[in-house]
């Protein structure tokens, strides 16, 4: 029997030791494999293709600013030369808030931070952005 897909707006982000909550957006859950082409001498018209390096997209998190600055301080550590690599998960929830799909990433560190765009006439929440580089992501069984 076909199942309706899960909505994309109910998710959690867990990063070891971090208690930040209220993420408005998470993107960059992806990977690709480079294609290496070569030609064998005996077959001058056929190109062979082999898998090369695996590349993982950076994960981009956006959230409304609160008093918590744990993620910013994690980034500041990298700026100061102290890289703390952490493992984490992105967890997709169903309509009732039950975890349904989990993507686990490993050896992550913050590669870019961006503060909010501020406007005197605005009424939206101030949004902070953190881009996380990592060395692997997989969908958990």
- Which pLDDT score is estimated for 72? 94
Structure tokens at 10: 């109910």
Picking from 56, 16, 17, 4, the residue whose alpha carbon sits closest to that of residue 34 is 56
- Which pLDDT score is estimated for 19? 62
Parse the chain into domains and list their residue ranges: 11-139
- Which pLDDT score is estimated for 20? 66
Q: CATH code for 11-139?
A: 2.30.110.20
> What pTM did the predictor assign?
0.88
Question: How far apart, in whole angstroms, are the C-alpha atoms of residue 105 and residue 79?
Answer: 22
| pLDDT by position in tens, the chain (length 141) | 778 888 888 899 999 977 666 789 999 999 999 999 998 887 778 899 999 999 999 999 999 998 889 999 999 999 999 999 999 999 999 999 899 999 999 999 999 999 999 988 878 899 999 999 999 999 997
Question: Where are the extended beta strands (E) located within the chain?
Answer: 11-15, 23-27, 31-39, 47-56, 59-64, 86-93, 99-114, 127-133, 137-139
Beta carbons of 1 and 34 less than 8 angstroms apart: no
- For the chain, the straight-line distance linking the first and the last C-alpha, in angstroms and rounded, comes to 21
- Which pLDDT score is estimated for 2? 77
Backbone angles phi, psi at 11, to 5 degrees: -150, 160
- Which pLDDT score is estimated for 21? 64
């Amino acid at each position: 029997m076909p199942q309706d897909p899960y909505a994309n707006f109910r998710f959690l982000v867990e990063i070891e030791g971090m208690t930040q909550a209220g993420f408005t957006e998470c993107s960059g859950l992806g990977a690709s494999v480079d294609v290496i082409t070569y030609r064998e001498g005996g077959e001058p018209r056929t190109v062979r293709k082999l898998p090369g390096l695996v590349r993982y997209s950076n994960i981009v998190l956006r959230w409304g600013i609160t008093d918590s600055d744990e993620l910013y301080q994690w980034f500041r550590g990298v700026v100061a030369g102290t890289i703390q690599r952490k493992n984490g998960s992105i967890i997709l929830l169903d309509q009732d808030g039950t975890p349904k799909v989990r993507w686990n990433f490993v050896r992550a560190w913050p590669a870019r931070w961006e503060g909010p765009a501020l406007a005197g006439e605005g009424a939206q929440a101030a949004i902070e952005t953190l881009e996380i580089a990592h060395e692997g992501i997989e969908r958990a069984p």
